A and B are shown apart, each in its own frame.
Chain A
Amino acid sequence: MSEPVESHRRESTGSVEWHRLAPMALVFLLLAGIQKFVRENLFMFAGAGFGVAVFDFLDAWKLGLLVIALLLMSLVGTMIFHRRFRFRIEDDAVRVRRGLLEKKELRVRFARVQSVQIGQPFYFKPFELVRFTLETPGGQESEVELPGIPRHLAEDMRDRIVGLQGTFAPVADSEVESGEEGSEPDRSHAGIGLYKASTRRLFRHGLSSNQIWLLAGIAAWFFGSFSERIGEWADSQGWFRYLDPIPYEFLLLAFVAIAITVLGTLLLLSGVLSIIRFHGFVLSDRGDRLVGIGGLLDQREQTVKREKITGLTVKQSALGRLLNCWHIVVRQTSSAEEEMPGRKKAFIVPGLDNQDLALTEQIVSGCRFPDGFQRVDSRFRRVFCVRITTIALVLIGVWMHLSGNGLLEALVPLSLLGLVLGAVHLRWSQWGWTLNGRQLWVRQGFLGRHQDVFDLDRVQQVQLRRSRYQRKHDLANLVLVLPQGPVTVPYLPLEDAAELANQALYTAETSTLHRI
């Protein structure tokens, strides 16, 4: 958590010097600023028709001038920000002064830090500079980011934060065994190598990750916004003339071929992006902390204190089930489940297969992947099926009555209803829970799978929610609020829910863990 500091106290601790960022940090700050500007304005620009209006109003050269003016303004702003940026390392904290128009001073105590990240974008490599990031439990974004500081300084700071004396050497490739071979991990002074992801595994992770659908969604939405303009442009080029004589069936085939090609390209792109993001990923156990290193253009070293881990999320997408590909997300207070730009960095262990699931036990002691899960009450399925069927049959009946259609025409909506009911069954069958000592596993999903595991002593709050139907049938939804967010187990028999709630409360209330 950041703490405001009074100015007279700042000056009194003059024994430690203030550092500035290296000149190369300007490149990082500029790129980060542009990235943030695009991220925050892209949707408004393309979605609200503003972009189309701008293109109508401005010629190409005026647009170019506008872009250059914006770039120059960002450059000047970045230079001022860079010039004013200062940081200082104290015995138990790091202090940062920054700000463009408003000066801000932060002091982050090392004891509050839950994750440390040292990243090295490719343009920092020749200068031995790195980007140093600290994350604390508060806030959705990284608390402190120091781009362009010498590696030795960053490593010294990291070692102070994790409470080490001296520095530690990075894990060499020879010290960890690739998950491909599945042999015993090697032990060395630098820690125990737990897992190494090969390029093939990373590509598979990319294929199975939901990133592809995100990319497809953004692309579809972006082209959708400009479709009218693209159509006009294609018409002005006379392209539609060539389409007229082509038979409809051929056009349909061409459309399917294009769709498959686009999907294939997106899959390939997703795989390649995953390789770039995690290249040479190595997970190692260094006693009281976990370290993950990987990345091609931006090599990142993420260090997480074990005591600050609040749970794990073990995920497998629908495509991942076909490819036998899982990934684990190490959860911390307010940590993200997915990696989103501008948000806290998620600690992801990518490209795992079924045999690697034993890794959960090595990440969090005693966290063994369960053999089976208890299902939630079957009334979950019944209540949704009955309600959906009733509404659908009424709507179909009204439609048949108004349109005068027969049963044959109703086959299509009835088949759709069948599919929806199948989906409800699938959703119900995925819900499950199991208590392994003090650790609760909760499974959910639809086509993919999503398992949360956490120690009951991490529970922040217990909620019991009951609808009228649930009260009538002695059922309850149990919500356990964790530092990383709520986890729900729906449609539990009331006695089971109450027992689990009482146990979670007992564990949390007698826990000696320090408050987060």
Chain B
Amino acid sequence: MNERANPFSNRPVEIEALPDFRDAELNPVVASYLRHKVATTIGFWGLFIVVSLAAPFLPFVDFNLSKYPAAIASVIMLLSLLHARLDARHRGWALREHDLIYQSGVIFRKQVILPFARIQHVETLSGPVERYFDIMRVKCFTAGGQSADLVVEGLTTAGAGQVRRYLLEQIRDDETPAEADPSEKVTSGDDV
């Protein structure tokens, strides 16, 4: 018979032996993410509260607002601040050899695992307030439509740039997905 070595192999895979995504240690979001959330929450609700409190004192305008809107807005603002604190605590991300893991949510927790081989395009985004706090988002586009696009929040500007470069490198190397090797160490930045 043919004694040449057969390059093809088809060994069975033990399901239990597969790497578990839950074993990955998640990087927490940077501290400035929480500061950004607090600032935007206070900015939005604070403005509403100030307007509703100041309205009765405006000259030439007979505008007597009840105190209830300010009180309700204050409660919502406090709840939003509490939510932001818990959200920053539970949010995290990790890069493995072949995928990106992202966790978010307070009451409903969501863990998303996105294989590099399925990423079509990566971009970084930041608004003016985010730039002030030196944070940036990384958006990964996939073929699953808008609902399948993943936005990773809570990275520093430098960290987001590194993640983006790393992901783009992995996308280029996806011809040999099983042999991909992370060539760039990505750091998470400050802890919350």
Contacts and interface: CB of A to CB of B under 8 A. Distances in A.
B1 interface: no
B144 A485 contact: yes
Given A468-B107, A498-B20, A461 B144 contact: yes
Contact of B148 (A461, A466, A468, A509): A461
A3 B114 CA distance: 27
A476 B174 CA distance: 30
Nearest to B140: A461
Contacts of A483: 143-144
A177 to B, nearest CB: 36
Contacts of B142: 460-461, 481
A231 to B, nearest CB: 43
Nearest to A506: B18
The interface centre, meaning the residue of B21, B143, B145 with most chain A CB atoms within 10 A of its CB, is: B143
Contacts of A509: 98-99, 115-117, 177-178
Interface residues on B, range: 20 to 34
Interface string A485-505: 110000000000011011101
A137 B144 contact: no
B131 interface: no
Given A508-B115, A508-B117, A486 B15 contact: no
A466 B111 CA distance: 9
A515 interface: yes
Size category of the A interface is 20 to 34
Contact of A466 (B18, B108, B177): B108
Nearest to A462: B113
Contacts of B21: 462, 498, 501-502, 505
B147 interface: yes
B118 A461 contact: yes
A465 B143 contact: no
B13 A485 contact: no
A499 B178 contact: no
Contacts of B150: 461
A137 B115 contact: no
Contacts of A485: 144-145, 147
B148 A460 contact: yes
Main SS class of interface, B: mixed
Nearest to A480: B144
Nearest to A510: B178
B177 A511 contact: yes
B120 to A, nearest CB: 7
A467 interface: yes
A362 interface: no
A460 B118 contact: yes
Contact of A503 (B15, B22, B114, B115): B15
Interface in B129-181: 142-145, 147-148, 150, 174, 177-178
A349 B18 CA distance: 38
A93 interface: no
B4 interface: no
Contacts of A516: 120, 143
Contacts of A501: 21, 113
B144 A486 contact: yes
A453 B109 CA distance: 27
Given A482-B144, A486-B144, A515-B117, A463 B112 contact: yes
A334 interface: yes
B22 A471 contact: no
B108 A465 contact: yes
Contact of A481 (B18, B107, B111, B148): B148
Interface string B3-31: 00000000001010011111000000000
A464 B110 contact: yes
Contacts of A499: 15
Nearest to A513: B117
A371 B117 CA distance: 33
B128 to A, nearest CB: 30
A515 B143 contact: yes
A463 B15 CA distance: 19
Contacts of A498: 20-22
A459 B99 CA distance: 13
A317 B111 CA distance: 33
B121 to A, nearest CB: 11
A333 interface: yes
B17 to A, nearest CB: 10
Contacts of B110: 463-466
A508 B145 contact: no
Contacts of B114: 460-461
A503 B20 CA distance: 9
A337 to B, nearest CB: 13
A471 B147 CA distance: 24
A482 B115 CA distance: 12
Shortest Cβ-Cβ A-B pairs, 5 listed: A516-B143, A460-B144, A509-B98, A481-B144, A481-B148
Interface of A: 137, 333-334, 459-468, 471, 481-483, 485-486, 498-499, 501-503, 505-506, 508-511, 515-516
7 contacts: A334-B145, A460-B114, A460-B143, A461-B115, A468-B107, A501-B21, A515-B174
Interface of B: 13, 15, 18-22, 98-99, 105, 107-118, 120, 142-145, 147-148, 150, 174, 177-178
